[in-house]
Structure 1
Amino acid sequence: MSNRDEDVREVEALSCRLQEAFAHVRVDEVVATELSVQQLKVLMLVQYRAPMTAHAVADALCVSAATVSGLVSRLVAGGFLVQEPAPDDRRALLLRTTAAGSEALEDVAAMQLRHWRDVVPGLTDAEVAGLRLGLAGIERVMRGTPGGTREG
């Protein structure tokens, strides 16, 4: 096995251990919000895949239209979502997050960022530099941006 293969396996193992270590953070994030897990899922789908219909949300979550209807009604009543007629089909309603909906998602993400801010200062300068390089590479690959070289 090459050094790269060993490094990749170690990165995967480290990633799993980090996810386990941060599991309490994710639990705290969800518990701290006034929204249910299902409501958060709806908000995330609409925020990042808008515009969506309630039917598309139901399909994405593999739940019934009735389930999504109740979730959407509560999110609209709470000011987290709005329903707007589709420009090409006035019978269809498109869902969009409101500023409050976007803020609710940002609040959940900010909790995890605060935990990172507690961890990173404990790293050595070399570890911070390596983490910065590694995270930039992950972002590059995820965005499909060319660049960088692969050694090995």
Structure 2
Amino acid sequence: MTDDPRAHLVEQFAQAHAALDDAFLTSRLRPLLETTLTVQQLRALGLVATGGATTTHALAEALDVSAATVSGVVDRLVGAGMVERHADPHDGRVRVLAPTDAGTATLRHLLTLPMDAELEVLAELDVDDLAALVRGMWALAEAARRSVPQAPPAG
């Protein structure tokens, strides 16, 4: 352990975060266990949604699969209303992939803690602790906004 108070607080935060992860494990897993999307479809949707793969060729490379395989994955995502294809404005032969609102909402649903459970826990905190937590969450969000690379806009 170090004498640096910041390092000590970061370690305490990591421990508290792990404890919260354990407490909410079941509620966080539920959406993943209930989805009808395959792991490959989730990976593809995530890559498309973050701008990591905006064409079928780029998606095939990112997933390390054949063009035929990725074509089937994309067809199923399009059929499910999660992804849309449209012509590239610079090269009409290329089909650009973009998430639909439903695709983005599905990812948010799968990757975020159900708010009902969180609100129930927050209601248990006293006002001073809740105010400190809100202040800290806004500070954390701002630090993340500044330092975590953001995905380029899809499309």
TM-score range, shorter chain: 0.7 to 0.9
Higher relative contact order (CA 8 A, sep 6+): 2
**Structure 1, unaligned runs of 5 or more:** 146-152
Match of 1:102 in 2: 104
Measure the CA separation in 2 of the matches of 1:19 and 1:111: 10
Cα offset for 1:32?
Answer: 2.1
Measure the CA separation in 2 of the matches of 1:64 and 1:25: 35
| 1:41 equivalenced with 2:48 (yes/no) | no
Measure the CA separation in 2 of the matches of 1:102 and 1:124: 35
Q: Secondary structure at the match of 1:95?
A: strand
Cα offset for 1:13?
Answer: 1.6
Measure the CA separation in 2 of the matches of 1:104 and 1:121: 27
| CA pair 67-105 structure 1, distance change in 2 beyond 3 A | same
**Structure 2, unaligned runs of 5 or more:** 148-155
Over the residues paired in the alignment, what is the CA RMSD in angstroms? 2.4
The amino acid of 1:58's aligned partner reads A
Match of 1:6 in 2: 8
Q: State the identity %.
A: 33
More strand by share: 1
The amino acid of 1:89's aligned partner reads D
Q: Which moved more, 1:12-21 or 1:102-111?
A: 102-111
Give the alignment's TM-score, normalised by structure 1.
0.79
More helix by share: 1
Q: Secondary structure at the match of 1:83?
A: strand
Cα offset for 1:107?
Answer: 3.5
Give the conservation status (yes or no) of the 8 Å contact 1:50–1:96. Answer: no
Measure the CA separation in 1 of the matches of 2:39 and 2:32: 7
